[in-house]
Amino acid sequence: MFENIKKEFSTRTLVLIPIAIAINIAIGELVVRLKLPVYLDSIGTVLVGAIAGPWAGALTGGLANLIWGLFNPFAAPFFYVAAAIGLMAGLAGKRGAFQNETPRWVSVVVGAVFVFSLTLFILAFINASTDETGYTSYPSMGQLFSQYIVAFIAAILIGAAIGYFLLQKGGYAGMWGLITGVIAAIISAPTAAYVFGGVTGAGTDLLVAAFRASGGGILASVLAQGSVSDPFDKMLSFMVVWLIVRSLPARFTSR
Amino acid sequence: MNAFSMYAARESGLHSLHPLTKILMTLLLVAAGLALPGNWTGYFIVVFIIFPLAFWGRVFLNLLSTTWKVSLPFAISVILIQSFFWGEGTPIFEIGVLSPKWEGAMFAAVSMGKIILVMSGFLLFSMTTRPDTLMITLKQAGVPSSIAYIIVTTLQIVPSFQRKALTILDAQRSRGLETEGNLYVRARAFIPIILPLVLGSLMEVEERAIAIESRGFNSGKKETSLIEIPDTPLQKVIRRVILFGIFAFIVFGVLWRL
Amino acid sequence: MKIIINNLHFTYPTGLEALKGISLTINPGEQVAIVGQNGAGKTTLVRHFNGLLKPTSGAISIGEWETTKYSTAKLASRVGYVFQNPDEQLFSRDVLAEVSFGPRNLGYEKSKADELVKRAMALTELNDKAETNPYDLSPTWRKMVALASIIAMDTPIIIFDEPTTGQDAVNVARIANVIAELKREGRTVVTITHDIDFCAENFERIIALAKGQVLLDGLARDVLGQGEILAQTYVEPPQLTRLGKRLGLKETITKQDQFLNAIARD
Ligand SMILES: Nc1ncnc2c1ncn2[C@@H]1O[C@H](COP(=O)(O)OP(=O)(O)OP(=O)(O)O)[C@@H](O)[C@H]1O
Ligand SMILES: [Mg+2]
């Protein structure tokens, strides 16, 4: 294992990492300038994972947030989340997620399954009830299906459309991005909730507000917000990197 | 922010402290604020420790205005969300469905204390520490030279990346790419702008790698440096104490909450 | 399409006044070179042509369009701008896609766009490289891809910012050839250059800028004949011109064939 780690940190990787962090920052600012409703500020991190491997990706993510923390102290406490994203990108890369094209029907299935699960999760959350003793009970799947059948069908159709038109041939990379986003949402929620009172000062706070309004606790609302916006954001990031890797000139990839 | 640095050049005792001492001090204050019990500890530390330090470093107004600017969006967000969507509680007022709760507002105020503490602590460090002393400091702290290289190089190249992104934006607009308009139009502009940025910089990787290898980066020889960072035996002792303090606060904070 | 610039001033947000009252008219089909020392304001001036910068005061119009009223993306249908560094615009997986990007943005019909792309690629001698990734080409060929991608937009006006800097002699000749063809097509070409020999050989009109103002403006041989004034903006007349002067030739020499004729006559 140590041999592997050492192999990942060639001089080229070392040079690549600062460039990747600068890319994170420059693209993060560009997204704000273009007023896009996403973050996309870990593209450089994912790129290092894809090109150099999971450990290099993790190091890039961790350092990126710590350095960014010098200017925006809110980024620093989330360094472990960024590291996890880099790590996941590396694992995805090892399995060829960024090099291969996916048949479009696979992308359709990925999109449909994901939006379906998301809908299930949100509906379960909204319909949860807390009794006097503080015990929270969730509705059963059967209950939800019979009550919201239209919503579920719509979710599957929307997901399939996302898969077909957005993921296109990058379905496998997109799927890794979705999974990474779910992990990121779960592990970042406690820090966001306990250290920062559940807000980020960004547009996604509206989602937190919506979940609070539907009766969720602070941690649960942050988690719910994260599970909606993070997977989407990371899916896009992974797909952009998939596109970048495919656009790499031969003289870069041949080495 | 012109260069990627918040450094404010001044002559002060705080400025002349060893960077390692300062960063440990910052971490100690943050650890204390988050670990110690009491809702208002964060505010207390900011007002009675960080502000006086900022006076000493002659960056008080600078720190105050920057902290204000960066914290404001969080403040607005946390106060609105936590007070209006608190659930059960004592209403402040009621207008139709709108009914903010005292408990929520209190929670928001407590959260803001922590936010302002983290914010002002790190900003104070950034403002009083020359970025170019960072490399040497990191090495002295036992950080491997490759990590130090990454941190220092990043701080150096970020401004040029920010400029390059803007130039590419201009170049593509000159080719008829719309960058304003509805969401679809703006989203479509994204790829043609980021690809030249990423591909162009990946092309530099090889050149930089060769340059570094020829300089003998991985040779393991000890490098000499031009900048001297003054350190004192007293500061060395203080740093040990601080390190112990941080550790103690973390242990305390975790145990106390279990 | 006529370019009319009227008492143009521009101040950067830093407070630096880069242009201090420029008035110019550039007629359709003219070949204009802009020269001047570093920091004279050449780039700042031409960035106004396609609306990348908007005047602090004064006005500039392209045809009947005042640039303040149109976005750069709109003005791109009238003014093509080749940036100095090709790496700041190349992003496609192959040269053909790269060259097609501009015409597609401008909304030409498919058949028309294909035709424009084909002509631009032939003119820049890129036909055998259509399927190559631009980043696999040498920097000189990447420059040609950048040229082609703007030429294919079929704009009545084309701007080049220092096209010959860093190019070898073969490629400079290629670029000169491209400019000559654009002239034949009746397009206006405005070129910023530090290469005064290139400027003398290929342009009829020269504008010399100094410290944000027009120092000289006129036919190439008139401008290049004024060595002392040009020296104010650190421009030296071409070797051929200076040689002609030293030989005591009556006319100001700017081109090789002109030089040979004059020698033969005297
Ligand atoms: N983005 C900017 N912000 C502030 N000042 C600028 C900016 N761009 C250029 N300048 C300044 O404006 C002046 C004119 O610059 P400009 O780039 O137009 O000169 P130039 O004639 O093109 O020079 P060069 O031959 O070096 O390209 C210079 O003093 C330059 O430093
Ligand atoms: Mg210039």
- Distance from CA of residue B174 to its chain's centroid? 36
Q: Are residues B23 and B99 in the same domain?
A: yes
Question: Which residues fall within 8 angstroms of residue B98, CB to CB, at 6 or more apart?
Answer: B84
**Distance (Å) from CA B177 to ligand 2 centroid:** 23
Domains of chain A: 2-102+169-253 (1.10.1760.20)
Q: C162 to chain B nearest CA, in Å?
A: 15
Q: How far from B54 is each of A34, B57, B126, CA to CA, in Å?
A: 36, 5, 12
Q: Which two tokens stand for residue C125?
A: 């001698």
Percentage above 90 pLDDT, chain C? 74
Show the 3-state SS of chain A.
CHHHHHHHCCHHHHHHHHHHHHHHHHHHHHHHHCCCCCCCCCHHHHHHHHHHCHHHHHHHHHHHHHHHCCCCCCCHHHHHHHHHHHHHHHHHHHCCCCCCCCCHHHHHHHHHHHHHHHHHHHHHHHCCEECCCCCEECCCHHHHHHHCHHHHHHHHHHHHHHHHHHHHHHHHHHHHHHHHHHHHHHHHHHHHHHHHCCCCCCCCHHHHHHHHHCCCCHHHHHHHHHHHHHHHHHHHHHHHHHHHHHHCCHHHHCC
Query: In the 3-class helix/strand/coil scheme, how is chain C assigned residue by residue?
Result: CCEEEEEEEEECCCCCEEEEEEEEEECCCCEEEEECCCCCCHHHHHCCCCCCCCCCEEEEEECCEEHHHCCHHHHCCCEEEECCCHHHCCCCCCHHHHHHHHHHHCCCCHHHHHHHHHHHHHHCCCHHHCCCCHHHCCHHHHHHHHHHHHHCCCCCEEEEECCCCCCCHHHHHHHHHHHHHHHHCCCEEEEECCCHHHHHHHCCEEEEEECCEEEEEEEHHHHHCCHHHHHCCCCCCCHHHHHHHHCCCCCCCCCHHHHHHHHHHC
CA atoms within 13 A on the CB side of B43: 9
**Cβ pair B178:C102 closer than 8 A:** no
Those residues with Cβ within 8 angstroms of residue B192's Cβ, 6 or more apart along the chain or in another chain = B172, B177, C91, C101
- pLDDT tier at A132, thresholds 50, 70, 90: low
Burial grade of C170 (CB within 10 A; 0-12, 13-18, 19 or more): exposed
According to the model, what pLDDT value does residue A135 have?
Answer: 63
pLDDT for res C170? 93
pLDDT at B13 over 50: yes
Q: How far is C102 from chain A (nearest CA, A)?
A: 19
Does residue B166 belong to any structural domain of this protein? yes
Per-residue DSSP letter, B219: G
3-state secondary structure of B91: strand
Query: A78, A42 in Cβ contact below 8 A?
Result: no
Distance CA B34, CA B43 (A): 11
Q: Can you give the pLDDT at residue B1?
A: 37
Q: How many domains does chain B have?
A: 2
Torsion of CA A191, A195, A197, A203, to 10 degrees: -60
Q: What is the pLDDT of residue B138?
A: 77
Residue B235: CB atoms within 10 Å: 17
How far, in Å, CA of A4 to CA of A2, rounded?
Answer: 5
Ligand whose nearest atom lies closest to the CA of C195: 1
Question: Which pLDDT does position A254 carry in this prediction?
Answer: 61
Going from the C-alpha of C235 to that of each of C38, C199, C254, the distances in angstroms are 10, 12, 15
Round to whole Å and give the CA distance between B100 and B98.
Answer: 6
B106 and B165 together in one domain: no
Q: What are phi and psi of B135, to 5 degrees?
A: -55, -50
Does residue B88 sit in the same domain as residue B205?
A: no
Q: What is the pLDDT of residues B201-210, one digit of tens each?
A: 988 887 788 8
Asked if residue C16 has its Cβ within 6 Å of ligand 1, the reply is yes
Q: Report the C-alpha gap between C134 and C86 in whole angstroms.
A: 10
Comparison of pLDDT for A57 and B207, the residue scoring more: A57
- Do residues B17 and B100 both lie within one domain? yes
Question: Residue C14 burial by CB count (10 A; 0-12/13-18/19+): exposed, middle or buried?
Answer: exposed
B101 and B213, same domain (yes or no): no
Give residues with Cβ within 8 angstroms of C39, minimum separation 6. Answer: none
Cross-chain Cβ contact B205/A74 below 8 Å: no
- Mean pLDDT confidence for C78-95: 92
Backbone CA torsion sign across C79, C84, C87, C88: negative
Report the range of poorest mean pLDDT among A33-37, A153-157, C130-134, C230-234.
C230-234
Percent of chain B beyond pLDDT 90?
29
pLDDT at A234: 92
Q: Which of B161, B202, B212 minimises the CB distance to A25?
A: B161
Are the C-beta atoms of residues A180 and A89 closer than 8 Å to each other?
yes
Nearest to B229 by CA among B160, B134, B108: B134
| B173 Cα to chain C: minimum distance (Å) | 5
Task: Note whether residue B38 is domain-resident.
Answer: yes
* Average pLDDT over chain B, rounded to an integer: 85
Question: Taking CA atoms, what residue in B is nearest to A41?
Answer: B194
- How many Å lie between the centroid of ligand 2 and the Cα of residue C188? 20
**For the CA of C40, the nearest ligand:** 1
Distance (Å, rounded) from C-alpha A76 to C-alpha A195?
A: 12
Same domain, yes or no, for B170 and B80?
A: no
Rounded-to-integer distance, Cα A184 and Cα A34, Å = 25
Q: CA dist A12 to A84, B157, C116, Å?
A: 22, 16, 41
- Integer CA distances (angstroms), A203 to A37, A38, A141, A199, in order: 8, 9, 31, 10
Ligand 1 site-directed mutation target among C8, C44, C161, C165, most atoms within 8 Å of CB: C44
Query: Cα separation of B255 and B249, whole Å?
Result: 10
The stretch B96-106 carries a mean pLDDT of 83
What letter does residue B160 receive in the DSSP assignment?
A: H
| ipTM (interface predicted TM) | 0.89
More confident call, B87 vs A59: A59
What confidence tens digit (pLDDT) does each residue in A164-194 have?
Answer: 887 788 888 888 998 999 899 888 888 887 7
Burial class (CB in 10 A: 0-12, 13-18, 19+), C97: middle
Residue C151 · residue C158 · CB < 8 Å: yes
CA distance A26 to B105: 36
Question: Residue A141 has what pLDDT?
Answer: 76
User: Look-up: residue for tokens 């590291």?
Assistant: A83
Residues 6+ apart with CB under 8 A from B107: A197, A218, B82, B86
Interface residue of B6, B158, B170 to substitute, partner A, most A CBs within 10 Å: B158
Shared domain for B1 and B50, answered yes or no, is: yes
Q: Are the beta carbons of B212 and A14 separated by less than 8 Å? A: yes
Per the prediction, chain C carries an average pLDDT of: 92
- Identify the burial level of C52 via C-beta atoms within 10 angstroms of its C-beta, where 0-12 means exposed, 13-18 middle and 19 or more buried: buried
> Which is more confident, C156 or B232?
C156
**Inter-chain contact C72–B203, Cβ cutoff 8 Å?**
no
Q: Search chain C and give the residue with CA nearest A254.
A: C136
Tell me the pLDDT of chain A averaged across its residues. 83
pLDDT at C95: 95
Give the residue with greater pLDDT, A71 vs B14. B14
Please name which of A47, A51, A42, A54 lies closest in space to residue A88, comparing C-alpha atoms. Answer: A54
Tell me what percent of the residues of chain C surpass a pLDDT of 70: 100
By the 8 A CB rule, do A172 and A97 touch? yes
Q: For B116-151, what is each residue's pLDDT tens digit?
A: 998 899 889 889 988 777 777 777 777 788 888 898
User: Nearest C-alpha of chain B: how many angstroms from C22?
Assistant: 23
Phi and psi at C2, nearest 5°, equal -85, 140
C44 lines ligand 1 (CB under 6 A): yes
Kindly report the CA angle at B105 between B100 and B111, in degrees rounded to 5?
145
In the structure, what pLDDT confidence band is assigned to residue C53 with cuts at 50, 70 and 90?
very high
- Is B11 contained in some domain? yes
Q: Closest residue (by CA) to atom 24 of ligand 1?
A: C38
Does residue C41 have its Cβ closer than 6 Å to ligand 1? Answer: yes
DSSP B15: H
Closest residue (by CA) to atom 7 of ligand 1? C12
Residue C102 banded pLDDT, cuts 50, 70, 90:
very high
**What superfamily does domain C3-78+155-265 belong to in CATH?**
P-loop containing nucleotide triphosphate hydrolases (3.40.50.300)
Query: Would residue B72 count as lying in a domain?
Result: yes
Which residue's alpha carbon is nearest to atom 9 within ligand 1? C44
C155 in contact with chain B, both atoms CB, cutoff 8 A: no
* CA pair distance A17, B254, nearest whole angstrom: 34
Q: What is the pLDDT of residues B221-251, one digit of tens each?
A: 555 555 667 788 899 899 999 999 999 998 8
In angstroms, rounded to a whole number, what is the distance separating the alpha carbons of residues C249 and A90?
72
Domain hosting B207: range is 144-220
Instruction: Give the range among A46-60, A116-130, B194-208, C34-48 with minimum mean pLDDT.
Output: A116-130
Task: Check pLDDT > 70 for residue A46.
Answer: yes
Residue A150 burial by Cβ neighbours in a 10 Å radius (0-12, 13-18, 19+): exposed
Give the lowest-confidence range in A155-159, B23-27, B66-70, C247-251: C247-251
Looking at residues A228-237, what average pLDDT do you find? 86
Quickly state the pLDDT bin for B2 (edges 50, 70, 90): very low
Share of chain A above pLDDT 90, in %: 29
Lowest mean per-residue pLDDT among A43-47, A243-247, C254-258: C254-258
CA-proximal residue: ligand 1, atom 1 (nearest): C12
